[in-house]
Amino acid sequence: DAGVIQSPRHEVTEMGQEVTLRCKPISGHDYLFWYRQTMMRGLELLIYFNNNVPIDDSGMPEDRFSAKMPNASFSTLKIQPSEPRDSAVYFCASSLLAGGPHTQYFGPGTRLTVL
């Protein structure tokens, strides 16, 4: 298995532009998680899905952030409009089940820089 795939690996954009981050979870995993990592705040859970349905989006910082999962093999995290404070590394993770001892497997991340 190729593991969790994220694209792009790096994104540089200007303030006000729309940014779309993409994630392909491990095949067969029913749960997908989006995290953000910064030096100041560490690793933050933004939103997670179960069987393509958003379960908890309480970590999404603002209405500028939105996430979708149109099918079991693809998810997007969109920021519109982007701001410099959105600069961070965004990780996608998936797991077979959630709760209990089930392990989350992380993608390589997308490093976002908003100028």
User: What is the C-alpha separation between 26 and 7, in angstroms, rounded?
Assistant: 14
46 makes contact with other proteins (CB under 8 A): no
Options 13, 22, 55, 81; binder of other proteins; rule CB under 8 A: 55
Is residue 82 within 8 A of residue 114, CB to CB? The reply is yes
HSE-up of residue 76 (Cα within 13 Å, Cβ side) = 9
Please, what is the minimum distance in Å from the beta carbon of residue 106 to other proteins? 4
Please, what is the minimum distance in Å from the beta carbon of residue 27 to other proteins? 18
70 makes contact with other proteins (CB under 8 A): no
Is residue 37 within 8 A of residue 89, CB to CB? The reply is yes
Is residue 75 within 8 A of residue 25, CB to CB? The reply is yes
* Runs of H (alpha helix) within 1-115: none
Please, what is the minimum distance in Å from the beta carbon of residue 91 to other proteins? 6
Options 46, 91, 94, 114; binder of other proteins; rule CB under 8 A: 91
Binding residues vs other proteins (CB under 8 A)? 4, 31, 42-43, 45, 48, 50, 55-56, 91, 93, 98-101, 103-109, 111
